[in-house]
Amino acid sequence: MANKFGLGSLPLESKNPISSTAFINKAKPFFVDQIGDTLQGDMNNFKITNLKFPGNDNDAVNKKYLLDQINAIQIDKDNVENRINDVKRYIRRNIKNLVDEPKLQQELTSLKRLIQVDKTSQLQNLISKLDDKITKVKIDVQRLIDNPNVNEDRLKRKLTALERKLGELLAELDKTADKTELQNSISNLNEKIAKQKSDVQDIINTLPIDKDTLKLIDCFGY
């Protein structure tokens, strides 16, 4: 005959029938109606021992099995941590050029200085070109004063071409350097250009030009 916990009942002819009876009465019996139901019972503060190795998800386990699983997890965790430390050591040992933020900032500052020097050099070249153009305009204006026999249409075309080239140079200058740094220089250049335009226009307006007889003279060498 089987008792409520699947254990064989002690035979009646047991040498210790009192203990057998006491054992049976100590556990409070509960039953399940069908396979798959959950068995709940009150062991009355007694232990279940000699559990079989769990094969299913719902099987009970003993303390030793549980501790073995915890120890196995801890061993795996230690192995992973050791591996991570090995990788860190490998990186520190084999990667020489680790990022040094202060050094990186220093190199960035040096690079900015180099860029600024390059911009300054380009700015100086552009200003030099503009100064050359203005100087040539002054020479051409003086030639106009000395020799008023100039074709008016050709003079206006040359003046327009000069204005376009100066505008292109100013646009290039504006792209190359910082606007705040060039504001005064550009303002001065614009004033010079406007003055030259005004002088040339005044000369055109005052010249006694005869369009039918004037010879074509190249005033600007562009």
Delimit the domains of the chain by residue range.
1-48, 112-206
155-212 per-position pLDDT tens digit: 677 777 777 777 777 776 666 555 555 566 666 666 666 666 676 666 655 655 444 4
How much is the average pLDDT of 141-167? Answer: 68
pLDDT score at 115:
67
Average pLDDT, the chain: 66
- How far is the C-alpha of 31 from the C-alpha of 50, rounded, in Å? 21
Q: CA–CA separation, 155 vs 144, rounded Å? A: 10
> Which pLDDT value is given to residue 177?
53
What is the pTM for the complete model shown?
A: 0.26
What pLDDT sits at residue 211?
A: 45
Greater pLDDT, 4 or 61: 61
Q: Which of 206, 204, 200 is nearest to 153 (CA)?
A: 204
Please provide the distance, in angstroms rounded to a whole number, between the alpha carbons at the two ends of the chain: 123
Instruction: Note the pLDDT of residue 213.
Output: 38
Helix (H) or strand (E) holding 215: none
User: Tell me, what amino acid is at 15?
Assistant: K
Residue 86 has pLDDT above 80, yes or no: yes
> 11-25, 120-134, 200-214: which range is least confident on average?
11-25
Q: Is the pLDDT of residue 128 over 60?
A: yes
Report the alpha-carbon distance of residue 1 to residue 12 in Å, rounded: 11
Give the mean model confidence (pLDDT) for residues 96-100.
56
User: Which distant-in-sequence residues (6+ apart) come within 8 Å of 113 by Cβ?
Assistant: none
